[in-house]
Structure 1
Amino acid sequence: MKQRSIRVKAPASSGNLGAGFDCVGMALDWYGEFDFVMGRNPQESESTDGVSSSIIASMGERAFAASLAELGITVDTISVSFRGEIPVGSGLGTSAMARAAGITAAAHLAQRPEVRDELIDIGLALEGHGDNLYPAMYGGIHVVSSDPLTDALLDLPLSSPRDLEIVLLIPDFTMPTDESRKLLPERVTVSDAVHNMSRVGFLIGALYEGRYDLLRHAFDDVLHQPARSKIFSAMYPLIHAAQSAGAHGAYLSGGGSTIAAVVQKGQSKSVLIALEDCANEWNLSFTSRVCTIGSEGTHVVSDTGK
């Protein structure tokens, strides 16, 4: 076949949102771009910032190839490249972003965009984190959980307020999810389980009723953040600094190391300064960014050579 290139944009995402451990996730309006090129010898992945984009590109390629195999489509050589500034291993859903991009490109090539809903199981098998994959694929905030009778995932999109901003403090050190999960307790007490369940209720109520004063309580997790703070001593000081500066609430994004603070739109500056000052006090190297909730999920932006 002649050379053909499908360009896909996919968003970063923030998992857990505090107490919604492994079941709540949010897309961010911070996007990376993937080029899925067929009919050309593989080339080295590109990056705008020196991040190991080959890791992200290879994850996208695996999802693309697996999706094509499921659809019964054979193509010549595949080359996948990634461009973006989203760091790997920082709790911003880069693997889910890559899986969503690969699935979307394959569905587009098959001229069956609706098949993404069926192919998402491939992404879940590769990714393992539905709370990141669904927001990355469809945008917005989602509650995701498995059905014990069928093993299928249940997905509930939540209200995604437009009057909120997300302030991100991204330390330069990584906290790979698989590694940080080893710190989590195998069993939890009934009181801790009830604590987190009630906080997820607060989260849903806060989003639908505009009760942003509840977000501080909604993000108050006792299942995973305390354990992860053992390898991230500055985590709670950063969360407290953001809240003291006016954030509605703050939490560890995914498995870390990013701290996400939710603020009223237009009021991010003071929270950003507070987070950066706190990070400097703890001698952390970091980058920072202000986002909104990503309402647009993964989508094709161009298709050349078809």
Structure 2
Amino acid sequence: MRIAVRVPASSANLGPGYDCMGMALDWFDEVTLTTLDSGIEVDVTGEGSEDVPRDSSHLIVQTFLTGLASLQVRPPAGLRLAAHNSIPHGRGLGSSSAAITAGLLLAWAYAHPQAQPDRQWMERIGTELEGHADNVAAVILGGLAIAWGSAEAGRAVSAPLSGDMRALAFIPHQAVPTVQARRVLPQQVSHADAAANTGRAALLVHALAQRPDLLFDATEDWLHQRYRAQLMPRSAELVTLLRAERHAAIISGAGPTVVVLGTEPMLDELARTPVPGFDRRLLRVGGPAHIVSVAEA
């Protein structure tokens, strides 16, 4: 059997939507799994190819096997995984959620080659593996996703999104590990900060769907970005500079990529402005992860 899937990048948090909001981006990794008589072969090209393992510890292979166990399906005797990565690793653009989703899609297609993926099953297993649902929900559902619940019982829904919404990404060359970015967050925040953040997160849902002119106010955050600034000073400085010009700039996920939300006319001039130390890319909203093909090898 030969199975091919495509999985999108994503931007989580979007400012005040910490661990509960994410958006898929039209930036895809492509993965193919071919069953073999024996052994495990892993071939990776593109982003991070020099750093990822080439054996059963590869995240996609691990997730594929976990997915099959959940579906109570015996794994193949052997497999070859070929992954072409275009999503940068460790930059806050959901590369690990893309890998997890790819593994789950491959498992589903192997177990049920003629059936549409059960995305609720994917959300449940993906959230358990990732530990939070914002990125993985956006990758699985596409567009804008709102997630809630625990790591063991995460749930998510698609939310309305303006058709002309764009994300302008400023991507630094240095990575910041997500575990490190989580470690610097405080265990408690003030009631005032929590209340302020709740109001902006609610406004953000409306701004993304109908009122892009409100995105600057809607993307202000009190819960995570200020605490992570020490890990990504140049990204934090760029957010400050962009917001001083009333751009809806945020740290994407755990960082250090900076994303500015808006419509194409809102972002057109900024998208042509180079920023030293950052690559820039104007992105449309992405569709969901999907199975490209299932065929006999």
Q: Which residue of 2 aligns with 1:72?
A: 72
Match of 1:24 among 7, 21, 24: 21
Structure 1 residues 21 and 49, CA gap change in structure 2 (3 angstroms): closer
What is the CA distance between 1:250 and its match in structure 2? 1.1
**TM-score of the aligned structures, taking structure 1 as reference length:** 0.87
Alignment of structure 1 residues 270-289 onto 2, 5 Å: 270-274=269-273, 276-277=274-275, 280=276, 284=277, 286-289=278-281
- C-alpha distance in 2, partners of 1:131/1:72? 27
Give the structure 1 partner of residue 289 of structure 2. 298
Cα RMSD (Å) of the superposition? 2.3
How much has 1:81 moved relative to structure 2? Answer: 2.3
1:96 shift after superposition = 0.8
After TM superposition, the structure 1 = structure 2 runs for residues 149-160 of structure 1, keeping only pairs within 5 Å, are: 152-160=153-161
Where 1:113 maps in the other structure, the secondary structure is coil
Is the 8 Å Cα contact of residues 47 and 53 (structure 1) preserved in structure 2? no
Letter in 2 for 1:262: L
SS in 1 for 2:18: coil
Deviation, 1:118, is 2.0
Task: In structure 1, give the amino acid aligned to 2:295.
Answer: T
**Aligned runs of 1:172-191 on 2, under 5 Å?**
172-191=173-192
Q: CA deviation at 1:72?
A: 2.2
For each residue in 1:57-100, what CA deviation from the matched residue of structure 2 results, as whole angstroms up to 9, or x when unmatched?
A: 92111111111112222211122221022111110111111111
Task: Return the alpha-carbon distance in structure 1 between the equivalents of residues 83 and 51 of structure 2.
Answer: 6
| TM-score using structure 2 length | 0.90
Task: Considering fraction of residues, name the structure with more strand.
Answer: 2
Which AA in structure 2 matches 1:205? H
- The aligned runs of 1:85-96 (5 Å cut-off) are 85-96=86-97
Per the alignment, residue 7 of structure 1 pairs with 4
Question: Shift of residue 121 of structure 1?
Answer: 2.3
Q: Is the 8 A contact 1:25 1:143 kept in 2?
A: yes
Aligned-partner Cα distance in 2 for 1:188–1:241: 25
1:119 CA drift (Å): 4.0
- Between the aligned partners of 1:80 and 1:93, the Cα distance in structure 2 is 20
Structure 1 gaps, min length 5: none
Distance 2:147 2:104 in 1: 19
- Tell me which of 39, 42, 64 is aligned to 2:40: 42
CA distance in 2, matches of 1:269, 1:45: 38
Deviation at 1:122, TM superposition (A): 2.2
Measured after TM superposition, the shift of residue 198 of structure 1 is: 0.4
Other-structure match for 1:235? 235
1:116-157 per-residue CA deviation (whole Å, 9 max, x = no partner) reads: 422432222221120011110110111111169xx6323231
